Amino acid sequence: MKTRVVITGLGVVAPNGVGIDAFTKALREGKSGIRHIKEMKDLGFSCQIGGIPEISEEYKRKYFSELQLRGFNSSGILYGAIAAIDAWKDAQLPISENIDFQSGTIFGTGTSGVEKFREAIYKLDAKKVKRLGSTVVAQTMASGVSAYIGGMLGLGNQVSTNSSACTTGTEAILMGFDRIQAGKAKRMLVGSCSDHGVYLWGGFDAMRVLSYKNNKNPEKGSRPMSASAAGFVPGSGAGALVLESLESALERKATIYAEVLGGEVNSGGQRNGGTMTAPNSKAVQRCITNALENCRIKAKDIDVINGHLTATSKDFTEIENWSEALQLKDAEFPYINSLKSMIGHCLAAAGSIECVASVVQLKEGFIFPNINCEDVKDEISSLISETKIPKKLIEKDLNIIAKASFGFGDVNGCVIFKKY
């Protein structure tokens, strides 16, 4: 019999809430974390709004020592470490001087320490190599976030960083799940993070995929499934989950948020309509159907889909792929929501933050509203009932939530959570 894997701790750093309590309240209220970013305007961006978590210098010092903060300028690692430590503490796990060989981390990112890289480049160009400091490498290497987390918590199992664009967080969860199921770890701290800022977001603005029509009304800017959607709003942050074997969780009488049934990751190979930036629909559908088969559930067992849904032209394609994969439409289609309406698209952190939101909904028994979606696209409402796209909070006992992420490079991930 395969090892059952459960979630025993959660942590989140999101534009609309830092910490599980604040984040849960924001979900229920449909609170936006999108605001005007002056630097984007000053640099001539078309999009001048974004999602950045609010973290004070005082708050940082609850997690990092003065020595660690000296010359520290990597927002992604900051967000990731805070979310990870919160999840670890939420799981009631100790932080000691001893090495925990039964616990590890797979914590993903897209790029690390973009601002630190910029700072280092300027110093190098000015021939000040000796003034770079001793932490440039640690802050800018791809595995920086998992290295920081592993050291802060004394993790002795696998300590690694994955990266698969916007699928990163969902993939990290499935990688941690696989390791526990294989009997190679009792616990895996999984999640992902993303830096904020113009040097990361500029490329997307140049691609003209960012929203620019609501610069004067930021909270209305991110509009998944809306007829007036005009591109995605960039965001940042981190989500973290402690995965643990059910046996270990029961042995130490841990709080169990939900069970991870499993899932699937695949790629469309950038063939048959799939490109660096667009999905191969057949591969997306295959990812979803394989996830259901792997978890031994049926389409009608799904209560809620937490979609990828970025507020671009691909929103309808995603709904269409779900409908085709599940063979459900109209009022038979599950409820579906998109957290991006509140926090924007947090890139590599999107999957993990959205998975945390999925688990919170499952544990607390509610479906958060899709804000800025009063004008659902006609092609979407012709395929599924608008009653399945909640505009207001729904209090409802839930059993199964499906979460999918799709990323640049034509990569896909789908994870299935079940109420415990």
Taking only the tens place, the pLDDT of each residue in 282-334 is 999 999 999 999 999 999 999 999 999 999 999 999 999 999 999 999 999 99
Q: Which among 60, 402, 109 is positioned nearest to 240, based on CA atoms? A: 109
| CA dist., res. 264 & res. 325, Å (int) | 14
Q: Coil, strand, or helix at residue 291?
A: helix
Taking only the tens place, the pLDDT of each residue in 362-385 is 999 999 999 999 999 999 999 999
Taking only the tens place, the pLDDT of each residue in 184-216 is 999 999 999 999 999 999 999 999 999 999 999
Strand partners, 332: none
Interaxial angle between packed helices 144-153 and 75-90, expressed in degrees from 0 to 180 and rounded to the nearest 10: 40
Q: Mean pLDDT in the chain? A: 97
β-pairing, 304-306 vs 335-337, is: parallel
Question: Which DSSP category does 13 fall into?
Answer: E
Q: Which among 265, 244, 221, 219 is positioned nearest to 103, based on CA atoms? A: 244
Question: Average pLDDT, stretch 39-58?
Answer: 98
Single pTM value for the model: 0.98
Query: Residue 205, exposed/middle/buried by CB under 10 A (0-12, 13-18, 19+)?
Result: buried
Using pLDDT thresholds of 50, 70 and 90, give the confidence band for residue 416. very high
Task: Give me the domains of the chain, ranges plus CATH numbers.
Answer: 5-258 (3.40.47.10), 262-418 (3.40.47.10)
Residue 1 has pLDDT above 90, yes or no: no
| CA dist., res. 200 & res. 203, Å (int) | 7
CA distances for 415 relative to 261, 289, 322, 340, angstroms: 8, 11, 14, 18
Range of lowest pLDDT (117-121, 163-167, 360-364):
117-121
Residue 154 has pLDDT above 80, yes or no: yes
The percentage of residues in the chain with a pLDDT greater than 90, rounded to a whole number, is 99
Q: How many helices (H) and strands (E) does the chain have?
A: 16, 15
Question: Average pLDDT, stretch 134-156?
Answer: 96
| CA dist., res. 205 & res. 220, Å (int) | 18
